[in-house]
């Protein structure tokens, strides 16, 4: 585990006033032949009721481990320790890691739902979509009549022809339709939190953007809290209220989306922003991050980013940095964040996140019309295309 110099106080560490989920000192360890693989390292995070939190980081940085930890769903032989607390709006806090298997099953669908990438593998190919909905409702003792009426509504909300989809086998739907159907299935039991792990990774760019618009609509209509996990920073920047950045199995920076995009303090976050290929900046200004992500069995000492960091000093090699507040709502784990702002200029300063601002300024009706038109067009023109 990293040895941090000090720990930031609770008052300093975040701006979350009404958490719905709280993860404290979460750690996931796999005992491997070649050593101990710590794939989540002392991660603490609060998720505000009603927010959309984006979790970003390179492939292999531990994002899926964090997602699985929120539901005590880390695959064996991985061992999860720490605390995960769910705070229902009414009722006592729930210690997620202390639940019986039956309690956990109930929590997983009825309170916190998860959507993973590659919808096809989440469906049983021999069952029609209708059977998936009915099986889920029956397993949780929900009224089939009410539940199926909600299924129709949700599928329509996601611009799908609900009758056609319910009567289809999964392979009869395009990738974008499958992913939207999986989102509808995930929220049919009216959970309060939806955790999505790379939900749009297998889809083309247009479908990704359309799903982002749909998620915003779903969130408002059904009062959901969302956690959107992805390596695609520009995509999630369009949706998220706050961003949390992972590097080498740790959370290294978190804050409000616009603040983090324009005033990122961690050299890694700044490098990630500069390396992202589909930001609105000239291609020649894209700068890949030198070096490679650490092996979880052999994480560098001190700040794990130091071998790749242009600002690293002896202090970074010796000591893992504590979280420091940049503003009340924005924290960073870096000894040199004050220098990073001047030393690593951002190549996108003006453009990143402008989609979000544009969307917020756009009247809701035109957004909905645009999304519906795009979805209809894509479903009709490329039934197989984005699979
Ligand atoms: N079953 C397992 N046994 C051992 N190590 C694992 C296992 N599953 C994942 N890991 C390791 O855990 C680390 C974190 O993986 P994780 O899937 O959380 O990363 P990620 O950020 O979600 O990556 P991606 O974006 O590629 O999905 C990786 O080094 C991975 O190799």
What size, in residues, is the chain?
A: 387
Q: How far apart are CA 141 and CA 294, in angstroms?
A: 46
Rounded to two decimals, the ipTM of the complex is 0.95
Average pLDDT, integer, range 215-243: 92
pLDDT at position 366 over 50: no
| Cα distance from N-terminal residue to C-terminal residue, the chain | 40
Among residues 191, 182, 168, 170, the alpha carbon closest in space to that of 211 is found at: 182
pLDDT at position 310 over 70: yes
Burial of 23 per CB tally in 10 Å (0-12, 13-18, 19+) = buried
Atom of ligand 1 nearest to the CA of 246: 21
Among residues 339, 322, 335, the alpha carbon closest in space to that of 13 is found at: 322
pLDDT, tens only, 149-180: 999 999 999 989 999 999 999 999 998 899 89
Task: Please work out whether the CB of residue 37 comes within 6 Å of at least one atom of ligand 1.
Answer: yes
DSSP three-state, residue 103: helix
Spacing of C-alpha 85 from chain mean position: 18
Task: Please work out whether the CB of residue 294 comes within 6 Å of at least one atom of ligand 1.
Answer: no
Name the residue at shortest CA distance from atom 20 of ligand 1: 60
Task: Please work out whether the CB of residue 127 comes within 6 Å of at least one atom of ligand 1.
Answer: no
Beta-carbon count within 10 A of 48 CB: 18
The token pair that represents 300 in the structure block: 């560098």
- Residue 179's alpha-carbon distances to 52, 72, 117, 161, in angstroms, are 19, 23, 8, 14
Output the pLDDT for position 347.
78
pLDDT at position 374 over 90: no
Range among 227-231, 243-247, 288-292 rated most confident? 243-247
Output the pLDDT for position 280.
57
Dist. CA 253 → ligand 1 center (Å): 20
Q: Give the residue ranges of DSSP H helices in 223-299.
A: 233-237, 257-263, 267-275
Instruction: Report residue 371's pLDDT band, with 50, 70 and 90 as the boundaries.
Output: low
Task: Please work out whether the CB of residue 100 comes within 6 Å of at least one atom of ligand 1.
Answer: no
- Provide the mean pLDDT of the chain: 85
Q: Are the C-beta atoms of 199 and 158 separated by less than 8 Å? A: no
Instruction: Report residue 358's pLDDT band, with 50, 70 and 90 as the boundaries.
Output: very low
Average pLDDT, integer, range 292-320: 94
Average pLDDT, integer, range 282-308: 85
Among residues 181, 273, 280, the alpha carbon closest in space to that of 264 is found at: 273
Task: Please work out whether the CB of residue 296 comes within 6 Å of at least one atom of ligand 1.
Answer: yes
Task: Please work out whether the CB of residue 75 comes within 6 Å of at least one atom of ligand 1.
Answer: yes
Name the residue at shortest CA distance from atom 16 of ligand 1: 62
Dist. CA 60 → ligand 1 center (Å): 5
Q: Give the residue ranges of DSSP H helices in the chain.
A: 10-13, 63-70, 101-106, 129-139, 144-157, 162-166, 175-186, 205-222, 233-237, 257-263, 267-275, 314-318, 337-343, 354-361, 364-381
Output the pLDDT for position 204.
81
Average pLDDT, integer, range 320-342: 95
Instruction: Report residue 10's pLDDT band, with 50, 70 and 90 as the boundaries.
Output: very low
Output the pLDDT for position 378.
60
Dist. CA 184 → ligand 1 center (Å): 27
Task: Please work out whether the CB of residue 62 comes within 6 Å of at least one atom of ligand 1.
Answer: yes
pLDDT, tens only, 109-134: 899 999 877 666 789 999 999 999 99
Mutate to test the pocket of ligand 1, among 40, 63, 117 (most ligand atoms within 8 A of CB): 63
Atom of ligand 1 nearest to the CA of 30: 4
Output the pLDDT for position 287.
73
pLDDT at position 382 over 90: no
Q: How far apart are CA 47 and CA 45, in angstroms?
A: 7
Dist. CA 48 → ligand 1 center (Å): 26
Bin 169: left if φ > 0, else alpha if -120 < ψ < 50, else beta. Answer: beta
Instruction: Report residue 299's pLDDT band, with 50, 70 and 90 as the boundaries.
Output: very high
Scanning the structure block, which residue is given the tokens 């090699």? Answer: 317
């Amino acid at each position: 585990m990293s040895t941090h110099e000090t720990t930031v106080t609770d008052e300093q560490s975040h701006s979350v006033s009404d958490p719905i989920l709280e993860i404290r000192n979460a750690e996931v360890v796999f005992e491997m032949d070649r050593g101990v693989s710590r794939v989540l390292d002392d991660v603490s995070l609060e998720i505000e009721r009603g927010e959309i939190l984006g979790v970003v980081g390179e492939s292999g940085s531990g994002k899926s481990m964090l997602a699985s930890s929120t539901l005590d769903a880390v695959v064996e032989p991985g061992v999860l320790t720490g605390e995960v607390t769910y705070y229902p709006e009414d009722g006592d806090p729930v210690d997620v890691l202390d639940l019986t298997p039956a309690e956990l099953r109930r929590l997983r669908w009825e309170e916190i739902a998860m959507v993973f990438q590659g919808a096809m593998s989440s469906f049983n190919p021999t069952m029609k979509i209708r059977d998936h909905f009915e099986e889920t409702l029956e397993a949780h003792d929900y009224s089939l009549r009410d539940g199926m009426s909600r299924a129709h509504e949700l599928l329509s909300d996601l611009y799908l022809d609900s009758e056609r989809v319910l009567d289809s086998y999964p392979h009869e739907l395009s990738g974008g339709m499958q992913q939207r159907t999986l989102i509808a299935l995930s929220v049919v039991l009216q959970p309060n939190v939806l955790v999505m792990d790379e939900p749009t990774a297998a889809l083309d760019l247009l479908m990704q953007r359309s799903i982002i618009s749909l998620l915003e609509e779903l969130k408002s209509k059904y009062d959901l809290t969302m956690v959107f996990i992805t390596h695609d920073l520009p995509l999630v920047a369009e949706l998220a209220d706050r961003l949390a950045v992972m590097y080498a199995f740790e959370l290294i920076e978190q804050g409000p989306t616009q603040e983090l995009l324009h005033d990122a303090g961690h050299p890694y976050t700044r490098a990630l922003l500069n390396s992202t290929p589909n930001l609105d900046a000239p291609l020649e200004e894209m700068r890949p991050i030198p070096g490679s992500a650490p092996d979880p069995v052999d994480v560098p000492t001190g700040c794990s980013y130091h071998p790749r960091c242009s600002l690293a000093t002896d202090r970074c090699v010796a000591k893992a940095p504590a979280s420091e507040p940049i503003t009340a709502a924005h924290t960073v784990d870096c000894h040199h964040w004050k220098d990073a702002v001047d030393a690593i200029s951002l190549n996108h300063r003006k453009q990143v996140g402008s989609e979000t601002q544009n969307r917020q300024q756009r009247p809701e009706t035109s957004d909905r019309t645009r999304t519906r038109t795009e979805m209809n067009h894509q479903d009709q023109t490329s039934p197989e295309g984005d699979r």
